[in-house]
Structure 1
Amino acid sequence: MTRTPLLPATIFLLAGWLSCAHAQDPSAAAGPTAPDRGAVPLDHLPALRGGYFPLVDEASGRSHHVYVRLPEGYEAAPERHWPVVVLLDGDSLFPLLAPTHLFLTYDEGLPEAIVVGIAYGSFDPAINRRNHDFTAAGTDTASDQGGAEAFHRFLAGRLLPAVESRYRADPARRVLLGQSRAGYFVLWSALHDPDLFWGRIASNPAPAPAREQLYRNPASHRRDDLGVVVASGARDTAARVAHAREWAATWSARSDAPWQVELSVLPDGTHAASIGEVYRRAMLWLFDEARTEAVRAPVP
């Protein structure tokens, strides 16, 4: 079949129509590399592969986003239960520390674990209520703070049961990690309910407000294998450095401490950017078999 060539005028009009259509299409103007604004599947990032589910705090009515990274070999060992690490401020710490745990398994022999990040979904203070959730009620607590007890009830009554009903998590090997204001909450939780978490990591914990809550008498406990790591970056503020040292020293000396206390000082550490090294040191200390065997050994 013979094709009729386009007339020059037709070619000119067609080119003009295409250029106008391109100019009116925002996605075309951005080019082929324009980012996809839809949901991004984490299954294509194997170091973060696991699951996700939203979870509503029925007391506050607020929604949280729960991200889960499953251990390598999880599917191949259907009878096995795994330690579970809960990361506060999961908005930023989950994508950092979930792969870090995998690398520590490769390089340091750290036992694999289910890593859970609980996220607000935004850094906007109207949505991200960490300032409220991670501070206890005290003499100097502001009106927009003091929600630690309610958030703790949410962790114990909603988050942990939700995770442990969906995944093969070992309730005897729970770890809670928080940084800065969330580090304060970790220490407060250790006194409020010692047995809820086997291990706790408080990275550069905030010293105030409600500082007095961190030195009150601890609640009763049944376990004797609990551990708390307080990490302090030497390049953090003088107030936070002093607070970490004082808290660790005080509770290391108190006979009513429900847990072993480890102070981990990072000579070149900063407030936030050293979290990977904090995680490495703290997790290796918590899972050190010599530590757990020592605390379980009978006193002669």
Structure 2
Amino acid sequence: MAAAVDVNPPLEDEKQISTQPPSLSLSTGLAVRLACRSNTLTTVTSGLAPTHLQANLIILPSRYAADFRLLCARNPVPCPLIAESSTAGSYTCIKSCNNGLSDAQILSDVDIRRDAPRYMVYRDSQLAKKDCLDICSEWTDDHVAFLIGCSYSFESALKEAGLEDRHTKLGRNVPMYRTNVPLCPAGVFTGGTYVVSMRPYKASEIERVREITRGYSETHGEPIAWGWDAVARLGIGDIDAPDWGEVSLTLTKDGRFLGDMVGSEEEVPVFWGCGVTPQEAVMRAGIEGTVMAHSPGHMLLLDVRDHDIIQS
């Protein structure tokens, strides 16, 4: 099995940041945003502000905005589009892409450049900076931010049903993997594939997990695959070596590697579409200019609540 190694080694110009555990007092999306804005919160956001939606971020030069909207429309499971900048260059106002939600319901009092715990910066489709505390120096009047649904948003419902994930309890980052599942192309965005997040459950729990998450189509919905045979079908070479997230969370409760449990019904991998998919699509597309995004697991917290988007 794979050794526990850092799958995202730091870049030379990366800012040094703390890894303090998340504060239990951050009970609203606004409270989390303000903590990020003041650099007092730099951790992953799983478990913060329960029932408040969390969003992935991708920020593009405006000339790619129409193609990206089309990419989301054609691939709603990994790229569920919730909102975008009200105008090019706006980092304080968003417009809803959900007919049932107003702009104000989704998000207010925001600075998209500073209100996620950490950010990534790409230049000409290559990662240039990682885990930045803000992107103020990179933002221009030509940038458009897109808010993509995140599976962290249904974790409150899973917890309420007694199905809380280990990463949520620990305040850690869920494991994420590149797959061989192709995205439907859109404009410049060609050749992309799904990224998936993984949470292990008992085989007896999976149908209940599917049932609970099915209504959260704005935040990836139910799993796209589950079971030990799904690992190979998705093109994941080693379940114990995620491309992003915590290697330690591929360990079982008793400290064994998850890969050692192949065939077990006590630890079964379950996979969801993941909002890191747009970042991979940008890398594959080879687009020019500066693109920004959240660091995987470090989401933008919204004002809208999970009960506002759940579908029966």
TM-score, normalised with respect to structure 1:
0.27
Query: Higher relative contact order by CA 8 Å / sep ≥ 6: 1 or 2?
Result: 2
Between structure 1 and structure 2, the one with the greater Rg is: 1
Of Structure 1 and Structure 2, the greater helix share is in: 1
TM-score, normalised with respect to structure 2:
0.26
